[in-house]
Amino acid sequence: MLAGVTDALAVLHGKGIVHRDLKPENVVVVRDARGVEWPVLIDLGIALAARHNGKPKPFGTPPYVAPEQVAGKAIDGRADIFALGQMIAEIWGGEVPPRFGLGMLRRGNAPAPDSRKPDQRSRRDRAGAQG
């Protein structure tokens, strides 16, 4: 199903359209006459409105919104790819990664923790680094 979503995004992006609100609720599965199931992207209202707006606005649904989208910067298809990554993480891990959740909207564009700083590494990583 996820491969079908990527195919649909490729078609949209090829036409210069960014969905801007990709989330599980906006992917429905339909079955054709042969019984084959296909994912269909729905709710393109934001994409189409934004395409004719000229000035980017931070549309979208947290936690699937890309950081540049939250900041109100110009976006392209990579914002949809970010949202797809969030969906994949949710499917495989049972939840959306928390550092890209609602807290991102409250804190603005706070940088992600630097995993190279010793105080932010796990206890196991610190133990391995000591010897």
CATH code of the domain containing 12: 1.10.510.10
32 is an active site residue: no
Q: Report the distance separating Cα 51 and Cα 84, nearest Å.
A: 20
Domain count, the chain: 1
Answer whether 0.85 is exceeded by the pTM: no
Of 46, 8, 11, nearest to 29 by C-alpha is 8
Choosing from 7, 21, 80, 119, the catalytic residue is 21
Over the chain (131 residues), the average pLDDT of each successive run of 10 is 94 92 95 94 79 63 88 89 93 75 45 45 46 46
* Residue 131 tokens, joined: 């010897």
In this prediction, residue 24 carries a pLDDT of 93
**Domain that includes residue 118, residue range:** 2-130
